[in-house]
Amino acid sequence: MVATTTLPTAHGVFALHGYRDLRTGAEHLALISPRGLAASGEAPLVRLHSECLTGDALGSRRCDCGRQLDQSLALIADQGGVVVYLRGHEGRGVGLLAKLSAYALQDEGADTVDAQILLGLPVDAREYGAAAAILAAEGVLRVELLTNNPAKADGLRTAGIDITGLRPLVVAPNPDNLHYLSTKRDRMGHRLPATPVVCQGA
């Protein structure tokens, strides 16, 4: 841990711990719930949130990232746990400018998987060793993981974190991200509903 402070949010005051990955130099955050991690003996609720500037900060409707982050903070503020915010994961690990190039191909009809393949990029270049190290530094070796992405659970397990369960994190799609979410479900194995119940803005 490099730095620690508090972060007042719409969901309460989180303890904010800053970490630096000694291998890559990336700087990550752990946001600890106002209620703490968990009741004694229970696995805390944990969200690994991959950095998404366009979704988290700019309100992009192309993805569900910003709404997932807000929902995660609300749940963890209420129930205890930690949000690990992973920087260097922009565009599933290929970087911001590459993500924008992939968006341009999506505007021409490619889906999110094929766009990165057409650019000669990996579909998903993220790894979760840093997240596991942060959790271990916080004393967390067993978690209930808040995710739709089984690859995140696999990454934590590989790094020695025990996953007691997966809790889905589903937000209503909108016309701008419906195809993207369907692709994540159908081609990337994300656990998302087959038929959206509500499509915002439709």
Residues assigned a catalytic role? 124, 126
The token duo for 43 is: 């696995």
Q: What span, in angstroms and rounded, lies between the C-alpha atoms of 5 and 122?
A: 36
Q: What span, in angstroms and rounded, lies between the C-alpha atoms of 107 and 101?
A: 10
Q: What is the DSSP letter of 43?
A: P
Burial of 108 (0-12, 13-18, 19+ CB in 10 A): exposed
**36 contacts 80 by C-beta, under 8 angstroms:** yes
**67 contacts 75 by C-beta, under 8 angstroms:** no
- Coil, strand or helix: which one is 117? helix
Other Cβ atoms within 10 Å of 53 Cβ, number: 15
CA angle 124, 128, 136 (to 5 degrees): 170
- Coil, strand or helix: which one is 134? helix
